[in-house]
Amino acid sequence: MPDIVIASGKGGTGKTTVSTNLATLLAERASVVLVDLDVEEPNSGLFIKGATEKFREVRNKMIPEWKADACTGCGICQKVCSFHAIVKLGKDIMIFPELCHSCFACSELCPADALPMQPIRMGETTLSQLGSLTFVESRLDIGQEQAVPLIAQTKAMVAHELRDTRYRIYDAPPGTSCPVIEASKNADVVILVTEPTPFGLNDLGLAVDTMRKLGKPIAVVINRSGIGNDAVEDYCHTEGIAVLAKLPNDRRAAELYSRGECIYTELPAFRTELEKIAAFVRSLPQGGRP
Amino acid sequence: MKEIVVISGKGGTGKTSITASFSALAAGDLVAADCDVDAADMHLLLKPDMALAEDFYSGETAVIDPDACIACGRCYEACHFGAIHSAEGFYAVDPLSCEGCGYCARTCPTEAITNHPGKAGVWYSSTTRLAFTMIHAALGIGSENSGKLVAHVKKQARAAALAQGKPYVLVDGSPGIGCPVVSSLSGADYVVLVTEPTVSGVHDLKRVYELVKKFNIPAGCIINKADINTAIAATIRDFLELEHIDQLGELPYDENVTRAMVAGLTIVEHDTGALRETLQDAWKRVRLHVDSSTQK
C-alpha cells in the first residue's frame, strides 16, 4: 500500500490537477484514497464531485488551561516555554494559544498540576466516498497559523483507518518549509509537479533538495509542457531524476480546471501522459519503496 | 512610508510576476521585499546583486551528547513531536522533527541535551538591475520559522525605505493562510489580492480575504487569466463589490506572461501593449488607494 505524495516547490504548478486526475484514474481499477494535506487552502475536493460524506471530525490541538486555585505562582511555566506562549503577569498566568506549540512542557513540569492540557479546535477533517475512491480533506480554521499539527493528525487517521487501501495519494501544500516536510516525511515516493519555466525550475531545485534531505525517492511530472523552455528537462537529466510524464500545455485543460472538471476524460493527449504516471504508481511494490 | 503586500491564497496565480511588474513601474519610489521565503522567485526577474548576505538564526534544535547519555529514556517520554528515537543503546534527535521546545533538555538527569540555535536561512540586501533596493531571503532546506524570517525581511525593507526616503515597501507574499502569510500581513497598509477565475482560485481568495479582514487592512484585487472562465470571473467581481475590495484590473490568459518570465523580464518590460497598460493602470489605482488612506 504505497504512500505517494504529490508535491511541488512552486504553487499553482498542477499538484491538485495531478492528484485528482491520477486518483480518479487509478480508482477505475483499484481502491484509492486521496488525502488533501494542503490544509491552508484545500482544493482537491472541488474536483471530486458527487462524493458522499461519511464523516466529519473536529480536529483539536492541545493547549494548557490555567487553574488559578491550584497555581502557586512559581513561574516555572513561563520559564520553560520556548515560544513565549505563557506569561506570568503579577499573580495571573496568561496563555496565548496561537503561539503554543503543544509541547506540554509547562503542563507536565508544573509542580502544582495547575496547567492541564485542554483541546481547542484548529480545523476539521471530512471523509467522503465516490465508488472505490475515498477522499479525505482537512481544513485549517482561518486565523490558525500552524498547519503541521493538523497535517500530522490527518496522516495518522489515514494510516489507522485506511490501512488496506491499494493506493494512498497525498496532495501536499506548496513550498519547502515545515508543512511540506510533515506531509512528505512518511512517503514511499514523492512526485514533484513542475512547469517548464524559470520559476518552475528554481522551485523544483528547492523541492528536490528538500526531498533528498528527507531521503525520499523522487520523480518529476512536467505540467504545461511546451509553454517555456527545456531547462527543467535538462536539469532532471543532469540530476538523474526520472520525468514520468509531460502533461501538455492546452488552454482547454486550463478551462476544464477552472470549472473543477476532470481533464483526462476529455483530453486524450492528457490521458496518454497521465497513464504513464499511473503505470509508475502501479509498478510500486505493495509494501514500500520503489 | 506605506507597506503594500501582494498575496493570493492559491499559488501560481501570478503574484510574483505582478509584484515584479509593479516594482519596475515604480522603481524610483520603493523598496521591494520577497517574503515568499521558502520558494522565492522574484530574484529571477530582478537580478539582485546580493551585496549583503547574512545568516538568520531563529529557534533551537536539541542535540544529545552520546557520551553523557545514560539511555534512561526520559527525553523520549517527554517529546511530543516524535523527534527522539533510540539508536544503538542511546538516544538521538531528528532535527527535522524537533520543534526546539527544550522540554527534553529539562528532563535529562545528566545534562546530556543542549539546545543549539538553528540557522533558519540567509537574508540579503541587494540592488536590483532596475537600481532599487530589494530585501530577500532563502529559507534553509527543511527549516522552520519561515514566519520569523518573513518578519525579519519586512523589518529590513522598512528600515531601508525609511533611510532612503522611499514612499513604498512592496512585499511579495507566500501562498496559503498560515504563519508566513500572517507574518507578511502584520503591519501592512494595503493588500493586493491576485486571483484567477477558477473554482480553486475563488475558494482560496475567499479564505485568504477572511484572514485579511481579521487584520482590518484595506484591499484591492487583480483578476489574472480573467477570460479563462467568464462566469466565475463575474462571481469574483460580485464578491469584490460585496466586500468593498477595490477592483484594480483584469489580465487575460496570455502566454506572453510566461514568455516574459522565460526572457527574465517583468511583464511591463517585455510587453508594450495591453498587458502593460492594464498593469500601469492597476499600479496607479494601488497608489491612489494607498495615498488617500494616508490622509484619513
Q: Write the Ramachandran bin of B226: left for phi over 0, alpha for psi from -120 to 50, otherwise beta.
A: alpha
Rounded to the nearest angstrom, the gap between the alpha carbon of residue B147 and the centroid of all alpha carbons in its chain is 9
Cβ-based contacts of A122 with chain B (< 8 Å): none
In a domain, A290, yes or no: no
Residue A288 within any structural domain of the chain: no
Contacts of A259 in chain B (CB under 8 A): 198-199, 229, 232
Short-list B97, B211, B136, CA closest to A178: B97
Residues A133 and A198 grouped into a single domain: yes
Domain residue spans of chain B? 2-47+128-295, 59-119
**A223 and A96 fall within a common domain:** no
B261 at the A interface (CB within 8 A)? yes
Please say if the pLDDT value at position B117 is more than 60.
yes
Q: Which amino acid is at A102?
A: S
- The Cβ of residue A227 has, within 10 Å, a number of other Cβ atoms equal to 20
The Cα angle at residue A240 between residues A236 and A241, in degrees rounded to 5:
55
- The domain of A101 spans 66-115
Q: Are A38 and A281 in contact (CB under 8 A)?
A: no
Q: Based on the domain organization, do A77 and A215 belong to the same domain?
A: no
Residue B232 in contact with partner chain A when CB distance is under 8 A: yes
Domain assignment present for residue A16? The answer is yes
| Count of CB pairs separated by less than 8 Å, A with B | 180
- Inter-chain residue contact A199 with B16, CB threshold 8 Å: yes
- A217 in a domain, yes or no? yes
A262 belongs to a structural domain: yes
Q: What's residue B296's pLDDT? A: 41
- Residue A50: give its domain's CATH number: 3.40.50.300
**C-alpha triplet A170, A173, A179: angle, nearest 5°:** 100
> Tell me: the pLDDT tens digits for B175-213?
999 999 999 999 999 999 999 999 999 999 999 999 999
DSSP H helical segments within chain A, as ranges? 15-26, 76-80, 105-109, 148-161, 178-184, 198-213, 231-239, 251-258, 268-282
Q: What is the DSSP letter of A164?
A: T
Q: Which of A106, A214, A258 to mutate to test the interface with B (most CBs of B within 10 A)?
A: A258
CA distance A203 to chain B (A): 6
Cβ neighbour number for residue B269 with a 10 Å cutoff:
17
The answer to whether residue A218 is domain-embedded is: yes
Q: For chain A, what is the domain count?
A: 2
Structure confidence at residue B111 (pLDDT): 96
β-strand partners of B62? B115
Q: Are A34 and A83 contained in the same domain? A: no
DSSP 8-state secondary structure symbol assigned to residue B245: -
Residue A90: CATH number of its domain: 3.30.70.20
Determine the straight-line distance between the first and last CA of chain A, rounded to whole angstroms: 12
Per-residue pLDDT, B138: 95
B-chain residue closest to A232, CA distance? B262
Residue at a domain's end among A115, A131, A151:
A115
- Of B60, B103, B176, nearest to A40 by CB-CB distance is B176
pLDDT in tens, B32-53: 999 999 999 999 999 999 999 9
Question: Which chain B residue has its CA at the smallest distance from A255's CA?
Answer: B228
| Alpha carbon A215 to its chain's center | 18
Does residue A245 lie in a domain region?
Answer: yes
| Best CATH choice for the domain B2-47+128-295 from the list 3.60.15.10, 3.40.50.720, 3.40.50.300, 3.40.50.410 | 3.40.50.300
Q: What is the pLDDT of residue B145?
A: 72
Mean residue pLDDT of chain B comes to 95
Q: Do B141 and A140 touch (CB under 8 A)?
A: no
List, for chain A, all residue ranges whose pLDDT scores fall below the cut of 50: none
At residue B295, the pLDDT reads 46
pLDDT digits over B240-295, tens only? 999 999 999 999 999 999 999 999 999 999 998 999 999 999 999 999 999 987 54
Span of A110-114, B97-101, B156-160 with lowest mean pLDDT: B97-101
Q: Chain A residues with CB inside 8 Å of B198's CB? A: 257-260
A87 and A178 in a single domain? The answer is: no
Q: Do A127 and A230 have their domain in common?
A: yes
Rg of chain A over Cα atoms, rounded to whole angstroms, equals 22
Same domain as A248, residue A105 = no
Residue B75 clears pLDDT 50, i.e. is over it: yes
Asked if residue A287 is part of any domain, the answer here is no
pLDDT value at position A202?
Answer: 97
Q: How many residues does chain B have?
A: 296
Q: Does residue A277 share a domain with residue A180?
A: yes
Looking at the structure, tell me whether residues A171 and A245 fall in a common domain: yes
Same domain, A194 and A265: yes
Examine the predicted complex and report whether its ipTM is higher than 0.95: no
Task: Give the pLDDT of residue B294.
Answer: 56
Q: Identify the H or E element spanning B206.
A: helix B199-215
pLDDT at residue A288, as a whole number = 57
Report the candidate in B19, B10, B32, B283 with the shortest Cα–Cα distance to residue B169.
B32
Same structural domain for residues A79 and A199?
no
Choose the final residue of a domain: A115, A138, A156: A115
| Cβ-Cβ contacts under 8 Å, B108 against chain A | none
Q: Hey, what CATH topology would domain B59-119 get? A: Alpha-Beta Plaits (3.30.70)
Say yes or no: A34 and A85 in one domain.
Answer: no
Q: Which of B103, B113, B215, B232 to mutate to test the interface with A (most CBs of A within 10 A)?
A: B103
pLDDT above 70 as % of chain B = 99
